[in-house]
Amino acid sequence: MKRTAKQAFDSSPLLAFGAHPDDIEFGCGGIIARETRAGRKAHFVICSRGESSTHGTPEVRTAEARKAAGILGASLEFVELDGDASLEPKAAHAIKLAAIIRRVRPGVVLAPTLVENQHPDHPRLGRLVRDASRLARYGGLAKLRAAPAHAIGPLLYFVVSQEAEPAGVLPVLMDISDPEVVSAWTSAMEAHASQLSTRNYVELQLARARVQGLRAGVEYAQALYPNDPLVFDSLMPLTRSASRF
């Protein structure tokens, strides 16, 4: 039986981009854990090795990222662009990321939000991923002809820090309350030990998830922000909202 487009996207990998070795874990690690434990493949693309970090060498941070991805059940690759704190929105970078999208062929793509009030690499990477997602579907782009064109499903933005939440945009809240999911997410964040020496980022992210959970009427939730309106084939999957009417 031929699969529908919806079924194809339901079984396709989840692709997440991070500017630094810990961004994905802190920003959407609970969501990744939930998806991989439901049987979905996940792949991380990290666009620096934390070269400009105050704590932790690139070698240490690379090892931490590999450990954290393993805990979350995701595969991982590093991409060399401009380096930590030097990322620039170049067409060549977007094409390089588009080639990865064509290779992985994801249904859903996750990237940092475009809000400026955060580490400057985050919104720049978000824009590059947005551009790459478009370029990946252009069949005539000569530099990408090595792989077939691919159109992703939704592009969703995650938030590493509260200041990066887009103003006036209602999020998609993902329920991550399963204790096994929370445990895996916590362990993945703790794997980035070099970044925890001055601030308890783990408790910060867990507290944010508890607040989002209170908003949604669950124990823990994480927010994603759609780049475009989400389209559904039916109202049947829409069983909950944050408001209790």
- Under 8 Å between Cβ of 83 and 113: no
Ramachandran class of 73: left when φ > 0, alpha when ψ lies in -120 to 50, beta otherwise: left
pLDDT digits (tens, 9 = 90+) for 169-188: 999 999 999 999 999 999 99
DSSP 164-194: GSPTT-PPEEEE---HHHHHHHHHHHHT-GG
pLDDT at 3 over 70: no
pLDDT digits (tens, 9 = 90+) for 189-223: 999 999 998 889 999 999 999 999 999 999 999 99
pLDDT at 186: 98
pLDDT digits (tens, 9 = 90+) for 158-171: 999 999 999 999 99
pLDDT at 169: 93
- Under 8 Å between Cβ of 56 and 48: no
Ramachandran class of 6: left when φ > 0, alpha when ψ lies in -120 to 50, beta otherwise: alpha
Average pLDDT for 116-140: 97
Q: Assign 1 a pLDDT band (cuts: 50, 70, 90).
A: very low
Rounded Cα–Cα distance for residues 109 and 17 (Å): 8
Average pLDDT for 122-142: 97
pLDDT at 10 over 90: no
Q: What is the CATH code for 12-161+168-226?
A: 3.40.50.10320
The rounded percent of the chain whose pLDDT value lies above 70 is 95
Q: How many CB atoms lie within 10 A of CB 7?
A: 11
Greater pLDDT, 244 or 218: 218
pLDDT at 6: 53
pLDDT at 139 over 60: yes
Count Cβ atoms within 10 A of the Cβ of residue 187 and give its class: 0-12 exposed, 13-18 middle, 19 or more buried: middle
The three-state secondary structure class of 47 is coil
pLDDT at 245: 66
pLDDT digits (tens, 9 = 90+) for 22-80: 999 999 999 999 999 999 999 999 999 999 988 999 999 999 999 999 999 999 999 99
The rounded percent of the chain whose pLDDT value lies above 90 is 90
